[in-house]
Structure formats: C-alpha cells, structure tokens
Amino acid sequence: MKIVLIKKIFIKAKTEFEDSYIRENYLKDLESAFKTQDTVIRINQK
C-alpha cells in the first residue's frame, strides 16, 4: 500500500482582476510545477 501526502497551496487574490490575471497567465505553469511535487494549488478570491 502506498500512502501519498498531498500538500495544498492557496493563493488569495484581492481583486477579480488579480484572480483572472493569475488564472490566465500563471495557473497552468504553477499547476504543472507543483504537480511533480504532489502539491495542489488553488486560487481563492478574497
């Protein structure tokens, strides 16, 4: 049996503009970078 610990990183965007900017420009790169380290990344708007 293999137990995998998944870490989560939350990014809090202060405005809707920041939220959409991060999602459009950085989210895919961040997800792929952290996926190799068994880390999940989420963006939450304030």
Res 30 pLDDT > 80: yes
Supply 42's token pair. 């989420």
* Mean per-residue pLDDT, 13-36: 87
Residues facing residue 41 across a β-bridge: 9
Contacts of residue 34, Cβ cutoff 8 Å, sequence gap at least 6: 9, 40, 41
The answer to whether residue 28 is domain-embedded is: yes
Q: Which residue has the higher pLDDT, 5 or 24?
A: 24
Residue 12: what pLDDT? 87
The answer to whether residue 1 is domain-embedded is: no
Residue 45: what pLDDT? 66
Res 28 pLDDT > 70: yes
Q: Is the dihedral of CA 32, 33, 36, 42 positive or negative?
A: negative
pTM over 0.75: no
Q: Which domain holds residue 36?
A: 7-45
Count of domains forming the chain? 1
Residue 21: what pLDDT? 92
Residue 46: what pLDDT? 61
